[in-house]
Amino acid sequence: MASTLNLAQNEAVTYGQGPVLVLAGAGAGKTRVLTHRAAHLLQAKKLSPSRLLVLTFTNKAAREMRGRLHTLVGEAASEKIWAGTFHSICARLLRYDIERLEAGYQRRFVIYDPNDQEKLMKEVLAQLDLDATQHRPRGLLRQISALKNQGLQPADYRRRDLGFQELTLARVYAAYQEQLARHNALDFDDLLLLPLQLFQRFPDLLQRYQRHFEHILVDEYQDTNPVQFALLRQLAAPQQNLFVVGDVDQSIYSFRNADFQIILRFQQDFPQAAVIKLETNYRSTRPILVAANTLIDHNRERFDKVLLAARGEGEAIRLHSARNEYQEADYVLAELQRLVRSGKYGYGDICVLYRTNAQSRLFEERLVQQRVPHQVVGAFRFYDRKEIKDLMAYLGVIYNPLDSLNLKRILNTPKRGLGAKSIQQLEQAAERDGLSLWDALQTPAILAAMPKRAQQPLQDFLGLMQRLRDFKGSLAELIQALYTDSGYREELAKDEESFEDRDTYVRSFIQAAEDFMAPDPETLLGDFLQHLALISDVDRLQESGQLVRLMTVHAAKGLEFPVVFVTGLEEGVFPHVRAILAEENDDDGPIEEERRLMYVAMTRAEDLLYLTHAQYRMQRGESTYQETSRFLEEIEDHLGQKLSQTSVFDRPLSTQVPTPPAASTVAELDDLNAGESVYHPDFGSGTVEKVYISGSRPIAIVTFPGGFGKRILDLRSAPLQRL
DNA sequence: CACATCTGTCTTTTT
DNA sequence: GACAGATGTG
């Protein structure tokens, strides 16, 4: 077995052939090594660019690598290499050969995102006469995803000895898969699985790709899932010229079936493998690194590795205990404003991290109030906007008429008077005649049988789609045409208040189509739709501009910032409750993953690291007392101040401020009426707008002047006092 | 048929 | 506080 080598970056770059595993800690220059390895192969080894396959974790990473290779090996070569995520590369392969599979997929397939999947699953459940409240669509989809990732097809699974529950799952799985094929749609799992099936069924195809890709480079190898591994292993089989880089301690995607055992097993899977360790961190100052090392050392399952700081001493980590989430946001805002005013840092040097997207709201509100330029990565995505999705649905149907899900979405968008009844009748007719919804629409006899008042709208819709499908012009012109000709723009214009915003979004969507480059005009629409489906949140991180960035820790993987705030360090938030619950059931996996996540968060920081937590936080409409995160305790010795000092006044509100016990609060406020004045410790005094019961909960809507606006408060728990 | 309002449910991370 | 689904109203 090959030995483990401690090499400098440049030696790793030029290291021999055959399988190579580079284990590199955070900030050790993984991306640099990968990029230079690519350049080395292209230049010194005279590898033809199209023979190089680079698999990155995000499309952004691929784009950036191309950019850097640009300067290293020239534009022509960098454009010719195959670089992208597993998903986008697989989609590309499938576009060529998917029709070879018997399931009935066609070249022009579309990709269904989780929203689409859920809609489809609801239809499947209805079709099987299963109650969607009893069989949760999301739960079923998760289980199906797990089966797919074990390589189990519906038929394979059925053959097993199944219990009653599992039998239902087997039926649902089979029906779901059949529906996908009928829609000519793939989900994210299929995107990886179908190429594997193709390779198994058609060895000639596999051989072609094996011969084609002489070298394969993989980034973030610790987050590879078993299906991706199977693909890699097959593609790399003949020469095993596989060069992977990763860090076990940064494996944070197990919920997506990533398995860090794959990186741990590399030497067993490839006995010829050389293992190179890069243990010098060039990113962070010593206090940050020492704390991060201390934290991750609490994990049991890991390779022993300590990061050495190439940079010297720096400022101590700063801890802040806020009373509640509002004051946490205030602190972060005040602090980052102070840093910017000091002149040492710009807004673009600062990043605010949190565990869940829901936490972003307060920070964003404050940033807007204070007019601080910022960008929220993820959260509410541009492509999730209704108007954009509606237009995308049109494009989807134009491209792939079998996409009945999107067809149903646009049949009555904008409103044409085709309600649920008409659509249902159409579906039944299609079902009866074994036609797709689209083909049913093309059948005169079916149309004639529709109710009178649906006739004209249906004719109009058909005419519109016909014109759009025959449209000659650029992609941007097509979208512009469908925007106006469908009457969609007119419908948006009816709401004067929102029209300007929405129209602007649509125009930037059209601009995006205008800017979109595809190698072949023939496949432009397909490429564009694929791009939209596979684009990730960080992919849209704006490169330029001095903007404060807000994102989840997951989204921050691979990024670095001079100043980082890690917020919400509370038991239940970070680490997340789910992990804590698993731990109580003797499963330490999830909590260790949370710890790795914390490790990732901390190691994003170059100079300054802030850790914050709140003692109270609103969760599901209730203000709850939050225990300090265990992660803070684990690194207590390395914090600029002692945790205990701040923990001392971590007292429940009731013992600190003389607030009446909950029961009497409700009793007292029970007869609260609109128009009364109340006092809230966080928002000050306000006026009651409305009092009502929501379900079993007494709710008051209170307006607070002074920037806090309208708040919905649960009277059982809100610390309100009458004035 | 379209829109408004109410009610019950709910733990996260994403290609 | 968000969201989906149900129910009520014009």
Asked if strand C contacts A717 at the CB level, meaning under 7 A, the answer is: no
pLDDT band at A51 (very low <50, low <70, confident <90, very high): very high
What residue type is A413 in one-letter code? T
Indicate if the pLDDT at residue A540 is higher than 70. no
Indicate if the pLDDT at residue A3 is higher than 90. no
Q: Which nucleotide is nearest to A192 (CA to C1')?
A: B15
| CB proximity list for A587: less than 8 A, separation 6 or greater | none
The pLDDT assigned to A653 comes to 39
Greater confidence (A376 vs A378) lies with A376
Mean pLDDT of A17-24: 90
Query: pLDDT averaged over chain A?
Result: 86
Indicate if the pLDDT at residue A637 is higher than 60. yes
A677 CA → B14 C1’, Å = 45
Helix residue ranges, H only, A260-359: 261-264, 266-269, 286-296, 325-342
Lowest mean pLDDT among A184-193, A446-455, A629-638: A446-455
Q: Which nucleotide is nearest to A695 (CA to C1')?
A: B7
A421 CA → C8 C1’, Å = 19
Indicate if the pLDDT at residue A89 is higher than 90. yes
Q: Which nucleotide is nearest to A539 (CA to C1')?
A: B15
Query: What's the CA gap between A651 and A303, in Å, rounded?
Result: 39
Residue A74 is classified by DSSP as -
A196-234 confidence digits (pLDDT tens): 999 999 999 999 999 999 999 999 999 999 999 999 999
A357 CA → C2 C1’, Å = 12
A501-518 confidence digits (pLDDT tens): 888 889 988 998 998 887
The pLDDT assigned to A658 comes to 33
Lowest mean pLDDT among A19-23, A381-385, A486-490, A718-722: A718-722
Show which positions of strand C are touched by protein (CB under 7 A).
1-2, 5
A618 CA → B7 C1’, Å = 21
Which helix or strand (DSSP H or E) is residue A96 part of? helix A86-97
The pLDDT assigned to A692 comes to 64
Show which positions of strand B are touched by protein (CB under 7 A).
1-3, 6-15
A550-596 confidence digits (pLDDT tens): 999 999 999 999 999 999 999 999 999 999 999 998 999 999 999 99
Indicate if the pLDDT at residue A120 is higher than 80. yes
Residues 556-595 of A with CB under 7 A from strand C: none
Asked if strand C contacts A386 at the CB level, meaning under 7 A, the answer is: no
Lowest mean pLDDT among A80-94, A124-138, A153-167: A153-167
The pLDDT assigned to A666 comes to 56
Indicate if the pLDDT at residue A672 is higher than 90. no
Q: Which nucleotide is nearest to A138 (CA to C1')?
A: B10
pLDDT band at A648 (very low <50, low <70, confident <90, very high): very low
pLDDT band at A294 (very low <50, low <70, confident <90, very high): very high
Query: What's the CA gap between A486 and A465, in Å, rounded?
Result: 9
Q: Evaluate if pTM is beyond 0.85.
A: yes
Indicate if the pLDDT at residue A286 is higher than 80. yes
| Token pair of A448 as six digits | 């004639």
User: Any long-range contacts for A255-258 (C-beta under 8 Å, 24+ apart)?
Assistant: A256/A223, A256/A225, A257/A145, A257/A146, A257/A149, A257/A225, A257/A226, A257/A227, A258/A222, A258/A223, A258/A224, A258/A225
pLDDT band at A651 (very low <50, low <70, confident <90, very high): very low
User: DSSP of A609-664, one letter per residue?
Assistant: EEEEEEEEEEETTEEEE-PBPHHHHHTGGGBSS-HHHHHTT---HHHHS-PPPHHH
The pLDDT assigned to A212 comes to 94
A391-410 confidence digits (pLDDT tens): 999 999 999 999 999 999 89
Indicate if the pLDDT at residue A13 is higher than 80. yes
Residue A192 sits at φ, ψ, to 5 deg, of -90, -35
Asked if strand C contacts A1 at the CB level, meaning under 7 A, the answer is: no
Query: What's the CA gap between A49 and A65, in Å, rounded?
Result: 14
| Token pair of A528 as six digits | 């564009």
Angle between helices A404-411 and A386-399 (to 10 degrees): 120
A189 CA → C1 C1’, Å = 32
Lowest mean pLDDT among A21-35, A513-527, A543-557: A513-527
Instruction: Cite the active site residues of A.
Output: 30-31, 219-220, 250, 604
Mean pLDDT of A302-310: 79
Greater confidence (A98 vs A304) lies with A98
- Nearest residue to A359 via CA among A561, A559, A574: A574
Q: Which nucleotide is nearest to A619 (CA to C1')?
A: C1
pLDDT band at A718 (very low <50, low <70, confident <90, very high): low
Asked if strand C contacts A716 at the CB level, meaning under 7 A, the answer is: no
Query: What's the CA gap between A602 and A499, in Å, rounded?
Result: 42
Q: Which nucleotide is nearest to A699 (CA to C1')?
A: C1
Report how far apart, in Å, the C-alpha atoms of A607 and of each of A315, A348, A380, A565 are: 7, 14, 30, 11
The pLDDT assigned to A82 comes to 96
Indicate if the pLDDT at residue A143 is higher than 70. yes
Mean pLDDT of A520-544: 79
- Nearest residue to A636 via CA among A319, A332, A325: A319
Mean pLDDT of A314-334: 93
Indicate if the pLDDT at residue A614 is higher than 70. yes
A619 CA → B6 C1’, Å = 22
A476 CA → C9 C1’, Å = 42
A165-202 confidence digits (pLDDT tens): 788 889 999 999 999 999 999 999 999 999 999 999 99
- The answer to whether the beta carbons of residues A285 and A314 sit under 8 Å apart is yes
Residues 618-657 of A with CB under 7 A from strand C: 618, 620-621
